[in-house]
Amino acid sequence: MFKIDNLSFSYNTNEKELKNNVENINLKIKKGEVVLLCGESGCGKTTTTRCLNGLIPYFFNGQRTGEAYLNGKKISEMPIYKLAENIGSVFQDPKTQFFNVDTTSEIIFGCENLSMPENELKKRLKTVVDEFKLYNLLDKSIFKISGGEKQKIACASVNAVYPDAFILDEPSSNLDSESSWNLRDILQKWKADGKTVVIAEHKLFFLEDVLDRVIFFKNGKIESEWNIDEFKKINHRKLGLRQLNLNNLKVYHNDYYSKNQEFFELKNFTFKYDKSPILDIKHVQIPKNEIIAIIGKNGAGKSTFAHCLCGLERSCKGELILDNKVLKRKERLKKSYMVMQDVNHQLFAESVIDEVLLSMDDENEELAEDILKNLNLIHLRDVHPMALSGGEKQRVAIASAIASKKEILVFDEPTSGLDLKNMMDVSKNLIYLQKLGITSFIITHDYELILETCTHIIHFDNGLIIDNYKIDEEKLKKFFIK
Amino acid sequence: MMEELNTKLTNKSGFHMDPRTKIFILIILSFMVFNDAPLYISGILILIPFTSLFLSNHKKMATSYILLYLIATYLKIYVNPSLTGPSSMISASFTYTITRMLPVIIMGTYTVITTKVSEFVASMEEINVPKYIIIPLSVIFRYLPTIYEEIKSIRNAMRMRGIGLNFKTLKTPLKLVEFYMIPILISAVKTSDELSAASLTRGLSNPQRRTHLEIVNFSKTDAIFIIFAILGVVMYAYYFIGDILLV
């Protein structure tokens, strides 16, 4: 089906040093195979998928040698709309891969582009809706459905063209665990239909039963290749990979971090949208100065809770009782801070040091540099925050929170789409914050991060806290592992 | 289930206007920004966005639009002349913004919230607008709701940092604009890049004519609205330049 012959590629960048993003890739993928491309961030797996679906050389410019073939024809010489008939591509961010705003038009968008007649369009829409069970998702705005549902629509819409091969680039980054399992079901269906599937991914846990073969990339080269049985036996951690079977993981911090445990209380956190309650907490006790995981399905009320906790929702009249002081919304706004999923939205200054100084009441450059040192950012002191990598941006946001003497930090999905190394960095930062006396709440779907870092769990469902417990492997497994 | 889907596909129930009609009316309404006409002249044009919104089940927005407009007109006619000093300045700028700009803004809002991207593309292709004009325009349609969400999230980030409407920031108001613009621009670049890549892999660049699930064509509704819009603009034009023509 696919053949890659001695391919090297480097993106055109302004930097003087010419480094190949992928180097001497040789790969054959048979029809009907399901192949995983894995490795650290920047190892070349995304670049390889782009060579296969024609975005290289059609969309991304750069220096290329070698060739990729689809059924014996050179991919670089086929027009990209011809490739669209044979290859369906699903991308990482469901928000930016939809051309339409409503789901129905999106499903049929690819077929319209290929000029299929109108009755064929109708027929295909019906078939796809039937196969993927999308009855409830038709004619909805893509802004009103969850990440998991968006990814389902994305899969359905590439499927509507009936391509022979699917190429997925980190499709599960923004998905909760249940949606990841649903994605596995879709992959299994494609496999059963005899389609070829190439998937580049960090999260591996949902792929165990689907894969045929695993290609491991390191620094732009193919380092190793295994069939699935061999892959199950190797030490994933050693290679910097996420866990394939979540059952192998153990809780790392079995006990609370702080010795003399204090608690704070939340009272009457309620929030309504269009008159229906989406958050309803009468009273709850939460340990202070711990790392607390907030888990639950998409739409369970986790983000709403985070917004209310940080004092961002005016109509939430809840109270937080901390050291016998009652904190109302405005005081909470001063004491808490949220590190958003899209960190770009919260960096404002022109350099990293300015960003930290901006948060201080009295600008103290020495103290600011101290904070940067501790977060390993001091070498980036004068760089513009927008020029940093994702992980660095997140650390700058954390630095500014420390500088403004926040006591409660909320992280919204801090590890979505991160490889093992970057996840461990996030975990290290969280533990550093704990030592500073800060209580962190982490909204997350990342089972590995929870086991590595957290000591307390709050489980949301339908706007209610259905469980509130010290970390417990068995309980967590029930929620995360299918 | 299958039957339900069938009816969903074929039955376009309720009020529906062709995207081309919407854009035509939008252009006509923008003439109103240039000058002021008495209510009996501009009335037809003002009622078009109201009727469209009201019939397409945005009754709340339609009613508040018409109320706001009437209040502004009342102020303009009966209150403004008797005011002096700064209060007259404020009142005048308020009333003139509302009476001249609001109808266009509301019509624009109506166009964006009720037009599907696919429908817009289909109707533009029908009148042979070239692809290189249609596609950027449809991306704008697609991007507008995203901007709204982004602004909300940036505002939240500012509130947590204590930036915003307070003394420290208001000393340098231009900074505030910068704080909003830079994250939005960054995400606009990122979104447009990823969106283009995704659409290319789905065959958007195919030179053959696209086909459409949604068939667009002019209906009676469109005819009625266009007639009223033309009638409105003729009356409007006659009111201002009629005298000149008669001489």
pLDDT single digits (tens) A303-318: 889 999 999 988 888 8
Interface of A with B in 79-98 (CB under 8 A): 79-81, 83-85, 87-89, 91, 93, 95-98
A369 lies within 8 A of chain B by CB: no
CATH number for A389: 3.40.50.300
- Name A345's Cβ contacts closer than 8 Å, sequence gap at least 6: B150, B153, B154, B157, B183, B187
Is the residue at A195 inside a domain? yes
- Average confidence score pLDDT of chain A: 89
- Give the domain-ending residue among A248, A276, A302: A248
Interchain CB distance below 8 Å, B183 and A336: no
Interface of B with A in 156-195 (CB under 8 A): 156-163, 178-179, 182-183, 186-187, 190-191, 194-195
Look at the block and give the residue holding tokens 């390889």. A48
ipTM of the complex: 0.83
In terms of domains, do A237 and A299 share one?
Answer: no
pLDDT of A260 over the 80 cut: no
In terms of domains, do A14 and A102 share one?
Answer: yes
Percent pLDDT > 90 in chain A is: 46
In terms of domains, do A54 and A201 share one?
Answer: yes
Q: Least CB-CB distance to B203: which of A55, A101, A110? A: A110
CB–CB of A470/A256 below 8 Å?
yes
Is the residue at A19 inside a domain? yes
Is the residue at A253 inside a domain? no
pLDDT at A163: 94
**How many distinct structural domains can be found in chain A?**
2
Is the residue at A474 inside a domain? yes
Beta-sheet strands, E only, within A32-187 = 34-38, 62-70, 73-74, 87-90, 165-169
Band (B1; pLDDT cuts 50, 70, 90): very low
CA distance A164 to chain B (A): 14
pLDDT, tens digit, for every residue of B73-98?
Answer: 888 888 888 888 888 888 888 888 88
Interface test with A, best of B213, B214, B215, B216 (most A CBs within 10 A): B213
Is the residue at A404 inside a domain? yes
Is the pTM for the entire model greater than 0.95?
no
- Alpha carbon distance A3, A223 (integer Å): 18
Is the residue at A225 inside a domain? yes
In terms of domains, do A240 and A268 share one?
Answer: no
Who wins on pLDDT, B6 or A417?
A: A417
Interchain CB distance below 8 Å, B9 and A79: no
Interchain CB distance below 8 Å, A55 and B197: yes
In terms of domains, do A50 and A176 share one?
Answer: yes
In terms of domains, do A152 and A275 share one?
Answer: no
- Among A58-72, A106-120, B12-26, the range scoring the smallest mean pLDDT is B12-26
Question: What one-character-per-residue DSSP string does A171-209 give?
Answer: TTTT--HHHHHHHHHHHHHHHHTT-EEEEE-S--GGGTT
Is the residue at A255 inside a domain? no
In terms of domains, do A218 and A330 share one?
Answer: no
User: Which range marks the domain in which residue A110 is found?
Assistant: 2-248
Who wins on pLDDT, A292 or A272?
A: A292
3-state secondary structure of A294: strand
Interchain CB distance below 8 Å, A89 and B156: no
In terms of domains, do A298 and A242 share one?
Answer: no
Interchain CB distance below 8 Å, B145 and A121: no
In terms of domains, do A60 and A145 share one?
Answer: yes
Interchain CB distance below 8 Å, A97 and B194: yes
Band (A92; pLDDT cuts 50, 70, 90): confident
Look at the block and give the residue holding tokens 């005048």. B92
Please work out, in degrees rounded to the nearest 5, the angle formed at the alpha carbon of residue A136 by the alpha carbons of A131 and A142: 100
In terms of domains, do A320 and A175 share one?
Answer: no
Nearest C-alpha in A relative to B201: A84
Instruction: Determine the average pLDDT of the residues in B218-237.
Output: 88
Who wins on pLDDT, A132 or A17?
A: A132
pLDDT at B24: 92
In terms of domains, do A234 and A333 share one?
Answer: no
In terms of domains, do A277 and A374 share one?
Answer: yes
CB–CB of A454/A472 below 8 Å?
no
Is the residue at A285 inside a domain? yes
